[in-house]
Amino acid sequence: MAYSETSSDPDTQYSYDEKETSSLLVLNPIGHCHVKYHPDSEWDLMYDGANTNDPVDMTLCLPHHRHRGLYGEQRVAMFVGSNSENIRLKISKFQLAVVASVADVTLWLPSDFKGHICHVGSARLSLSAGFMNRILPNTRFDSDSERVPSEGDYVVVSTQGCVTLRMWDVQTSTPESVQKETFRRMFSCMRVKERRANWDCLLNRK
């Protein structure tokens, strides 16, 4: 399967061979969807909602083990597209492209996410307390969707709608606790790093 990105604005178009991708297409954009590795295709999962008015609310379940066909830093690749309906995804360990025109996008990224996030669009980017506490220190933000990093996880979001990034706790398999993460954020900001006193100046006194 081949796709081409014609521009870097939210109206980015992707083209692909429908015959080659028919087995990868997701028909129901609601609920759980198990992602399988397809070595002969560029994408391992696809949902193209360009011609529908259905909102997207999916939990993308990736394999718990690394497929023997995946080598080095190769990633599981997924594509989710929509024109104006909202997109809600919960995902882990991936290369993900989310393309929309004016739809709002909310992503729950795993707490062990380490990689790059590319945000293409002029709309506001909102980060939850859990995302800032657990994911932000291991994340790099970029606006160049044509430069794909060779290491780490990779997410690109292209939309004129609002983008919200939240944290999914992989240890408890639950969404972030807003109250808990907010308090943690407050205390971490209030914490003052202890400074060691320098008493050497007293030794020079006569």
Q: pLDDT digit string (tens) for 131-185? A: 999 999 999 998 876 777 767 788 999 889 999 999 998 888 788 988 888 888 7
> In the numeric block, which tokens belong to residue 38?
């397809």
Q: Which two tokens stand for residue 163?
A: 């983008």
- Tens of pLDDT along 91-120? 756 778 888 888 899 999 988 888 899 988
Residue-range domain boundaries for the chain: 22-62+75-189
For residue range 43-99, what is the model confidence (pLDDT) as tens digits? 878 887 777 778 888 878 776 555 555 655 667 788 888 887 888 887 756 778 888
Give the separation between CA 111 and CA 171, rounded to whole angstroms. 8
Burial 182-198 (b: 16+ CB within 10 A, else e): eebeeeeeeeeeeeeee
Residue 84 CB burial class (10 angstroms; 0-12, 13-18, ≥19): middle
Q: Inform me whether the pLDDT recorded for 5 exceeds 50.
A: no
State pTM to two decimals.
0.59
Residue corresponding to tokens 């900001």 = 189
Please give the Cα distance from 113 to 93 (Å, whole number).
Answer: 7
- Neighbouring C-alpha atoms within 13 Å toward the C-beta of 52: 15
Q: Give the containing element (helix H, strand E) for 58.
A: strand 56-61
Question: What is the model's pLDDT at position 123?
Answer: 75
Q: In whole angstroms, give the CA distance from residue 126 to residue 94.
A: 21
| pLDDT score of 39 | 74
**For position 205, what pLDDT does the model report?**
52
